[in-house]
């Protein structure tokens, strides 16, 4: 049942009908992005909780995430919600992995914007140990170009936090 007080954009209002999101996106560094899944919980917990303080300083006020005491069960439920929202095109969470997916390095979020001047809000992060590295710089260059090239958006906002 739809909450009548919910004014968030629907999938139909921010993306064209029939548009399909990417399922694997190669970066020039040999890393790749793919939709996050609940089965990524162990790798995600390492990434998120290893960078929890910095991530809280970025996303905490807006999203209340990630809490300092997040459990694997809470993370798994959150990742499943992200996966479900991607299927319905409500929002998107792409995880950044090394070539063999042995390490989750960060995430890219693409959400409908609540700002009437933008059609999407796009943000991303890397684990603390990758801050200031060539990989972070490559991601910073890659994401806006990827959104412009492959997404049906006309006025995305980047790194709003």
Instruction: Encode the chain (161 residues) as per-residue pLDDT tens digits.
Output: 333 334 444 444 799 999 999 999 999 999 999 999 999 999 999 999 999 999 999 999 889 999 999 999 999 999 999 999 999 999 999 999 999 999 999 999 999 999 999 999 999 999 999 999 999 999 999 999 999 999 999 999 997 65
All residues at 6 or more sequence positions from 145 whose CB lies less than 8 Å from its CB, including other chains: none
All residues at 6 or more sequence positions from 92 whose CB lies less than 8 Å from its CB, including other chains: 21, 35, 85, 86, 108, 109, 110, 111
pTM of the model: 0.90
d(CA 119, CA 84): 21
Domain boundaries of the chain, sorted by first residue:
21-158
CATH number of the 21-158 domain: 3.40.630.30
């Amino acid at each position: 049942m739809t909450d009548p007080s919910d004014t968030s954009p629907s999938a139909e209002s921010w993306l064209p009908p029939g548009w399909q999101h990417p399922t694997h996106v190669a970066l020039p560094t040999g890393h790749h992005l793919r939709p996050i899944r609940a089965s990524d919980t162990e790798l995600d917990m390492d990434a998120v909780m290893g960078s929890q303080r910095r991530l809280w300083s970025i996303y905490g006020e807006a999203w209340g995430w990630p809490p300092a005491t997040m459990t694997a069960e809470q993370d798994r439920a959150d990742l499943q919600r992200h996966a479900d929202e991607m299927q319905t095109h409500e929002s998107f969470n792409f995880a950044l992995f090394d070539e063999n997916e042995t390490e989750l390095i960060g995430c890219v979020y693409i959400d409908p914007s609540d700002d009437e001047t933008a059609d999407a809000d796009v943000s991303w992060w890397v684990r603390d140990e990758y801050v200031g590295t060539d990989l972070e710089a490559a991601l910073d260059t890659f994401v806006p170009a990827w959104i412009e090239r492959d997404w049906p958006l006309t006025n995305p906002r980047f790194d709003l936090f």
